[in-house]
Each structure stands twice: as structure tokens, then as C-alpha cells.
Chains A and B, each alone.
Chain A
Amino acid sequence: MLDSEVTSMIIKGIGETLYMTVFSTGFGYLLGLPLGIILAVTDKDGIKPNALLYRILDVLSNILRSIPFLILLILLIPFTRTIVGKSYGSTATIVPLVIAAAPFIARMVESSIKEVDSGVIEAAKSMGASTFTIIRKVLLVEARTSILTGATIGVGTILGYSAMAGTVGGGGLGDIAVRYGYYRYQEDIMIVTVILLIVLVQLFQLAGMKLAARFDHR
């Protein structure tokens, strides 16, 4: 059953899964990190409260998080086409993955930043630090470990979402598991791919936690 054709397909699947996960997480943080910082800073207990801005971002991120990923994937097809030029394939899947991951990442970043001791922020203010300096040199530094732990959870979730990429021909391990295991009753291939997915999530989790612990001096 695991002939060379299947093996090469699975290897390709691993590559596609990693490609989608890594780039989606990367771009997800590019959007989600600033968004999370703005949410934490503009909240009423934040260092620069702004009720209107907070409300808008709050509602927006909740709407995006409420839409099931499969629906989002289809809804975003025209948008994806304008960005990457086509609406199918691994690269095209990164677009909806990023849109789905960014608000989720923003919420995790927001909660990490809110954990920073208000006394430390007050101390920085008493030294004459500006809002921007406090964000850069206090909030992001003190919340570093918590943000890294969040990223570890984020990677796992995005990897799970990427399994739905098959819908738009995105490929990856999840796609193989669905196509062979669900549609063709080839359970052996399904089990192998699922085990590989588990191993990948475990590896990301382990690496993330190691990294977070290394940076933690509390």
C-alpha cells in the first residue's frame, strides 16, 4: 500500500503543510501583533485608552473569528484571486488562513500584554517614557514569554485549519487524509497522515515551549 508513489505524495504533503503553516503564522503575526497591541493599549485600562478604536477592532476581530473557516475560505476566493493571482493551491490557501488567524493571534497578543504588571508600566511612566517607548521597551519585553507561548498555540491551530485547504486544492497532509481516508476508504494512508500531523504539532509545541522557557527570567 505504501508504494513509492504514495510515499512521495506524503512527503509533498508534509512540505505543503509546513509551507502553509509557517507562512500563514508569519503573516498572521504581521497583522495580528500590531492589532493585539492596539487592542491592549486602547482598552479602557490600557496606557492610551481610545473607546472608539477599541470598539471597532474588537467587533471586527470577533466577527472574523465567528465565521467558520470553510465558509471564510470560499467567501474570500475573489479577494484571494486579486492578491495571489489564482484562487487554488497552497499559496492561495495562505490568504484565508492569514485572515482567519490574525484576529485570533491579536486576541492572544492582547491578553499576553494585559498580563504585564501595571506597576512596571507606572515606573516607566515615572521615568518619562512615551507611550511608544512603553510598548516597545516594556510591554513587548515583559510579555515576550507569554507571546511566544501564544504563538505555539497559534501554530497548532493554523496547522489544523490548513487541513481544510483541500477544498480549494491547497494540498497538504490534511487534504491527503480527507481524500484517501474519507472518500476512498484507504484507512492506512489516512492513519499515516494523521500520525504525521500529530508529530508535527508535537514538534512545534515542544520547540515553542523550549524557546519560551529560554527567554523567561521571571
Chain B
Amino acid sequence: MAQIVLEHISKRFEIEGKTIDALADINLEIEKGEIFGIIGMSGAGKSTLVRCLNFLEKPTDGKVLIDGSNLGTLTEKELRTQRRDIAMIFQHFNLLLQKTVLDNIAFPLVIQGKKKAEARKRAKELLQIVGLEEKEKAYPSQLSGGQKQRVAIARALASNPHILLCDEATSALDPQTTQSILNLLKQINQKYGITIVIITHQMDVIREVCEKVAIIEAGRLVEHGNVVDIFNHPKSAAGKKLIIGDNVSATVTGEKSQVNEEVIVRAVFTENSAFEPVVANMILRIGEPINILKADTKNVNGIAKGEMLLGLPQNKRKEITEYLTEKGLEIEEVEQYAG
């Protein structure tokens, strides 16, 4: 059985007499040791979903099973004990401003009734893991965003959790700091085997660290699976929007294309196919101009993936698609985004 199982999770809020379905019939399984991403636009319900995993939000319907125990059937006291196994980090770090870094990290242990000296000893070990030994006496206000998140991660690890929930943990950080925090999470996952659930609206974060991903839109789970598969072939509209982006239409409609009756396709190629000048060869062969609307290389789980948006003449479309497929590229039409 998977470590985290969600069965038919729904959450309704009553706000000023209006009923809002924040989550509707979500079914999901997350295996032990995975780094699982949940992505969606803001307001999609992903923050509510992650709070259902530790019952900070109680779902209106459905079951949450953590290591086989059904959170809905636990008493308040049992639930509090269970939460020690499910740590959480936040977008705005949520550190105690009036406590030192060391006491912040020792805090979950103090809550559990451990002796202060013992808790501080463990906190010092954790500071080493996150690389902030010299900051133990500092207060959160003296730290940078990245350092604060490191302290929050150390605090989350204090009670040796099995699961770490990350709620937009890198959204308030700059790209470089995001990278270092993601590396730290990856390292923690590998070293301690902690299952990590990452909530984000940034596709880059998912591509960087996650093996599996679920896409949430308007409270519904629209697509889930391996990151590589979904990156190559997003099926849902929300998935396509997140992966291919909105900027396509801007690029395309901005100027009148030189290519008559243009069809837009997205081509994805891996390292190997990147050696051959595929596009150049193709143009030589079919003798027609094509438009490169966008080109990029992205790192998906350590594999370099090239991504291109090509504007093709309508009449050569079949020929070109066949040629590119033959060369091992993944082809997909994204015409609906050109409008």
C-alpha cells in the first residue's frame, strides 16, 4: 500500500452563504521515498489539498490514509501524535521571530516534551545538515530568505518525520536560492528516504526534483503520472498551459508570420537527437522555410530535453511531422494556442 492514499477527497467552504468547492473527488497515491509534485495555478486548490494530508484542513468527504492510518478516525490527541511524522515547510517560512535559530529548530521537540538541553543538541546536528552552524544564535530577522527556509527545513526534520510537505516553499525565493533549496530537498530525500510532497505553481521546480506530478485545476485532479511523460505529452489543457506556456500566443500573434497558412507544432528531443542538425537538414530536404518560434533546453530529472515551437507551412505538415518523428523527436500540434 502506498504511504499516502487519498480517496475521493472533497472540500467545500461556505463563504458568506456561498458554497465553494475547493477540492472535488481527488484520488491519489504517493509511494514511500518519492518526490511528488502537485502543480496548479493559484487558486486551483493545491494549498487546501496539501493541508488535507496533515488534517490542518479536514476534508468534507473522502479518506486520507497515512502509512495505513485513516486520519479521519483519529482523536485530536492521536492526530497530534501523527502530525509529528508529517513535517511541513511554508512559503513564508513561519519561524518564531522571538526565538533564536537554534530554539526554532528545537521547538518541535520541546512541544513533544523533550528536555531543552536534549532538544538543543539535536538542533545543532540539524543546523549542520542544512549548513548554517554559524547562525545558531541569530534571530530569523537577521537571515536571508534562503537561510530562513533552511532553518525551517531543519526544524521540519527535528522529529524525524516520514513525510515532508512543502507548500510553495521556493515561491518567495530568487532562482539561485530556489536551486539550492531544491538541491537540499533532493539530498534529504536520498539520505533519509523521506517522502517529499511539493506544492508549487512553478513548472521548473517540478522538472528539477520531482519524479511524479499531479496537475490540479479548479479543485480537480486533471492529470498525473511521471514527470517525463507529462512533460513530453501533456494531455490536459491545464497541463499544456503549464508546460508549454501562455507566451506562445504572444510570440505568434505579435507579428505577421512569413509562412503561409502556418501550423504550429511543439517538438521535444533528448540529448541524443540534439547532436544532429535536424531542423537544418529538414529545411534542406523539403525546400520550404519554417519558423522557429521558441527554442529552449530544459533539464528534466537530470536529462537534457530540447523543446522547440515550429511554425510550419500547412501543405508540408504531414511530410515534416513524419520526418521529425523518424528522427526520434516527439511531435505535437499546439495550434489552439495560436489564437
Q: Measuring CB to CB, which residues of chain A are less than 8 angstroms from any residue of chain B?
A: 117, 119-120, 122-130, 133, 137-138, 141-142, 144-145, 215-218
Contacts and interface: CB of A to CB of B under 8 A. Distances in A.
Instruction: For the complex of A and B, list the 9 residue pairs with the smallest distance between their C-beta atoms, beginning with the closest.
Output: A128-B83, A123-B94, A128-B80, A119-B94, A217-B139, A126-B88, A127-B108, A129-B111, A218-B97
Most chain A C-beta atoms within 10 Å of own C-beta, residue among B88, B94, B140, B159? B94
B97 A128 contact: no
Contact of A122 (B56, B86, B99): B56
Nearest to B140: A217
A174 to B, nearest CB: 37
B80 A123 contact: no
Interface in B49-77: 54, 56
B98 A127 contact: no
B15 to A, nearest CB: 13
17 contacts: A117-B97, A119-B90, A119-B92, A120-B97, A123-B94, A124-B111, A125-B83, A126-B56, A126-B165, A137-B111, A141-B98, A141-B99, A142-B96, A217-B140, A217-B141, A218-B98, A218-B139
B76 to A, nearest CB: 8
A138 B94 CA distance: 11
Contacts of B140: 217
Contact of B96 (A120, A128, A216): A120
B56 A133 contact: no
B96 A141 contact: yes
B100 to A, nearest CB: 8
A211 B298 CA distance: 54
A120 B95 contact: yes
Contacts of A122: 56, 90, 94
Interface residues of B, number: 29
B110 interface: yes
A137 B98 CA distance: 11
B273 to A, nearest CB: 45
B81 interface: yes
Given A125-B56, A126-B54, A137-B111, A217 B97 contact: yes
Contacts of A137: 107, 110-111
B84 interface: yes
A218 B141 contact: yes
Interface string B304-316: 0000000000000
Interface in B191-232: none
A87 B86 CA distance: 59
Contacts of B86: 126
A184 B108 CA distance: 65
Contact of B97 (A124, A126, A129, A142): A142
B90 A215 contact: no
Nearest to A121: B94
Contacts of A126: 54, 56, 83, 86-88, 165
B112 interface: yes
B107, B111, B140, B165 pick with most chain A CB within 10 angstroms: B111
Interface in B253-279: none
Contacts of B111: 124, 127-129, 133, 137
A125 B80 CA distance: 8
Interface centre among A122, A145, A217, by most chain B C-beta atoms within 10 angstroms, is A217
Contacts of A141: 96, 98-99
Interface in B7-54: 54
Contacts of B165: 126
B56 A127 contact: no
Contacts of B159: 127
B90 A128 contact: no
Most buried by B among A117, A124, A128, A216: A128
Contact of B98 (A124, A128, A215): A215
A165 to B, nearest CB: 37
Interface string B98-122: 1100000001101110000000000
A47 to B, nearest CB: 12
Contact of A142 (B54, B87, B98, B139): B98
B98 A145 contact: yes
A215 to B, nearest CB: 7
